[in-house]
Amino acid sequence: MSSLPDTFDPYDDATQPAMNIEHYAETWVRVPKQPLFRRPVTLTEITGPTRLAAKLRPGDNDLAHPYPDKPRAMGQLITVSGRVQDEDGRPVRGTVIELWHANCNGRYIHPMDANNPNPLDPHFVGSGRVTTDDEGRYEFLTIKPGAYPYPNHPTRWWRPPHIHMSIFGDGFMSRLVTQMFFPGDPLNDVDLILQSVPDPAARARMVARQIPMAEMPVLNVMGFEHDIVVRGHRQTPFGQ
Amino acid sequence: MTRLIPTASGTVGPFFPPHFFRPGDNDLTVIAPGAPAAAGRRIHVFGHIYEAGRVPRWNSIIEIWQADAGGRFAHPNDPRAAEADPHFMGWGRRASEDDGYFDFITVMPGGYDDPVSGARRAPHINLSVTGSGLMRRLTTTLFFPGEPGNDADPVLGAIGDPALRARLVLGTAASPRVSHGLAAYSIDIVLQGDGETPFFVD
């Protein structure tokens, strides 16, 4: 039981993506025109579901070899691991992370991607769910996703390989959906979604770090480390 | 103390895995199939979501979060957490359908004296929208019609214009899909354009 409640400052626009992106057509018709209203923070915003795993069952931390009696998924095997922390650096324990990404051919398992000319991989599930441990750590095994084109505009661009991650955190205001990118990919520099975050340091934090090969326990698996910070910090005690 | 900066948001995109939705994810009255029912009056909350030009927006991911029937949250930040309904999680999720339709079965949330702001919170449901074209989530709060506490609610009161406040008060039309035999409450979520829903700074 905490004596001081979590507080939530508004996000800094420099470290968050623009809502309207010129060549990302869907943003033109789905982003409100009215300014957003500032609301006071009350109990309902600083609380959130604490037993989500009962509804969103974790355990799918192997996207690369999900069916024990079948071959593994095509593509470069990777692990992605890291810590989820709040703004004070406290570990966010027992929180559900959902993740999903394209297969090695840049195709999703989704009806919206049914016209993708690239093949599905019957041995790749494309999504998983993990829970952070007592130190806020998570890890999953998967394959490196392929790039794919953003098609819905005359000015097309390649989306670099990326992994979607949905994190619940400790409360309603901590909820985060983000994308993780891979270091050194030249497509990162032309991705309008990654580049919509104004602050270069904030963009850099969306890019995973490759773990040196010598530190990986298995020779044929590439390791990536990706730490995530969700919103929320303790109030400064009065007088300090 | 060093403050870490929250990781940047990114759009959910159009490919949120369909199998992340399971039957019952939009039914807050039981935590799992066959589990004991939550206390309180069961209600059906439904609506449609639209983008600019009143075009139905399908494939939106809508999540809700609310107090239990007694106005409590089963969360360490609530001083009354120990009294919270053990059979109520307070969270649900649903993707909007082709015509923008979404719905939840839940219990009527209780109001409460807010220990953070000192204000009285009227019964309400927090709602967030994510999906393709939304680089950050949109959040708003739904209120119930005829609640005397609405006028003094600090979040509803953060919206100055009464006509805009009215857009966050649920209607009582029946669902075009299914009745469940429950009191039904309806809302239009308009992302952009005429009748645009007021959203809050996240």
Chunk chain A into consecutive blocks of 10 residues (it has 240) and report each block's average pLDDT, rounded to whole numbers.
Answer: 68 96 94 96 94 84 88 96 96 96 97 94 94 97 96 86 96 96 97 97 98 94 98 68
Active site residue A24: no
Active site residue A159: yes
Residue A46, in any domain of the structure: yes
pLDDT digits (tens, 9 = 90+) for B132-178: 999 999 999 999 999 999 999 999 999 999 999 999 999 998 888 88
Compare CB distances from A202 to B8, B57, B192 and report the shortest one's residue.
B8
* Structure confidence at residue A240 (pLDDT): 36
Best probe of the A interface among B55, B135, B137, B155, by most A CBs < 10 A, is B135
The separation between CA A131 and the C-alpha centre of its own chain, rounded to angstroms, equals 14
| Residue A161 touches chain B, beta carbons under 8 Å | no
Residue of B nearest to A162 (CA): B10
Q: Write out the two tokens for B2.
A: 């060093």
Helix, strand, or coil here: A86?
coil
Interchain pair B2, A89: CB under 8 A: yes
Compare CB distances from A54 to B2, B32, B154 and report the shortest one's residue.
B32
Residue A222: what residue type?
A: M
**Number of neighbours of residue A184 by Cβ within 10 angstroms:** 8
Residues in CB range of A214: below 8 A, 6 or more apart:
none
Interchain pair A17, B135: CB under 8 A: yes
Interchain pair B4, A50: CB under 8 A: no
Residue A239, in any domain of the structure: no
Contacts B89 to A, Cβ<8 Å: 49, 51-52, 54-55
* Structure confidence at residue A229 (pLDDT): 98
**Helix or strand holding residue A194 (H, E):** helix A192-195
Nearest-angstrom CA–CA distance, A208 and A80: 8
State the Cα angle at A110 between A31 and A185, rounded to 5°. Answer: 75
* Structure confidence at residue A2 (pLDDT): 43
Residue A228, in any domain of the structure: yes
Contacts B191 to A, Cβ<8 Å: 29-32
| Residue B4 touches chain A, beta carbons under 8 Å | yes
Nearest C-alpha neighbor of B22 from the set B97, B92, B121, B112? B92
| Residue B122 touches chain A, beta carbons under 8 Å | no
Domain that holds residue A34: 6-234
The sign one gets for the Cα dihedral B150, B154, B159, B161 is: positive
Helix, strand, or coil here: A64?
coil
Residues in CB range of B160: below 8 A, 6 or more apart:
none
Residues in CB range of A238: below 8 A, 6 or more apart:
none
The separation between CA B195 and the C-alpha centre of its own chain, rounded to angstroms, equals 18
* Structure confidence at residue A1 (pLDDT): 40
Best probe of the B interface among A23, A43, A179, by most B CBs < 10 A, is A43
Distance from CA of B67 to the nearest CA of A (A): 7
Interchain pair B199, A36: CB under 8 A: yes
State the Cα angle at B6 between A58 and A42, rounded to 5°. Answer: 85
Nearest-angstrom CA–CA distance, A61 and A217: 17
* Structure confidence at residue B102 (pLDDT): 97
Q: Is A6 exposed, middle or buried (0-12, 13-18, 19+ CB in 10 A)?
A: buried
DSSP letter, residue A46: S
Residue A68, in any domain of the structure: yes
3-state class percentages of chain A: helix first, strand second, coil last, to nearest 5: 15, 25, 60
Interchain pair B15, A113: CB under 8 A: yes
Strands in chain A per DSSP E: 6-7, 77-85, 96-100, 127-131, 137-143, 148-150, 157-159, 162-167, 176-181, 209-210, 222-225, 228-229, 233-234
Helix, strand, or coil here: B148?
helix
pLDDT digits (tens, 9 = 90+) for B75-129: 999 999 999 999 999 999 999 999 999 999 999 999 999 999 999 999 999 999 9
Active site residue A156: no
Strands B61-66 and A228-229: unpaired
Residue A240, in any domain of the structure: no
- Specify the number of domains making up chain A: 1
Q: Is A47 exposed, middle or buried (0-12, 13-18, 19+ CB in 10 A)?
A: buried
* Structure confidence at residue B179 (pLDDT): 77
Which member of A83, A138, A148, A226 is catalytic?
A148
Q: Which domains does chain B have, with CATH numbers?
A: 41-190 (2.60.130.10)
* In contact, B125 and B141? CB cutoff 8 Å: yes
Helix, strand, or coil here: A152?
coil
The separation between CA A154 and the C-alpha centre of its own chain, rounded to angstroms, equals 28
Residue A52, in any domain of the structure: yes
* Structure confidence at residue A239 (pLDDT): 40
**Which CATH number covers residue A137?**
2.60.130.10
Q: Write out the two tokens for B49.
A: 């979501």
Interchain pair A51, B89: CB under 8 A: yes
Nearest-angstrom CA–CA distance, A159 and A126: 17
Residues in CB range of A217: below 8 A, 6 or more apart:
none
**Band of pLDDT at residue B1, cut at 50, 70 and 90:** low
Distance from CA of B154 to the nearest CA of A (A): 7
Nearest-angstrom CA–CA distance, B43 and B185: 8
Residues in CB range of B82: below 8 A, 6 or more apart:
none
| Residue A179 touches chain B, beta carbons under 8 Å | yes
Contacts B10 to A, Cβ<8 Å: 17, 164, 177-179, 193-194, 206
How many residue contacts between A and B have a Cβ separation below 8 Å? 249
* Structure confidence at residue A51 (pLDDT): 87
* Structure confidence at residue B20 (pLDDT): 93
Residues in CB range of B195: below 8 A, 6 or more apart:
B54, B167, B188
Helix, strand, or coil here: B169?
strand
Which member of A159, A203, A226, A231 is catalytic?
A159
Residue A1, in any domain of the structure: no
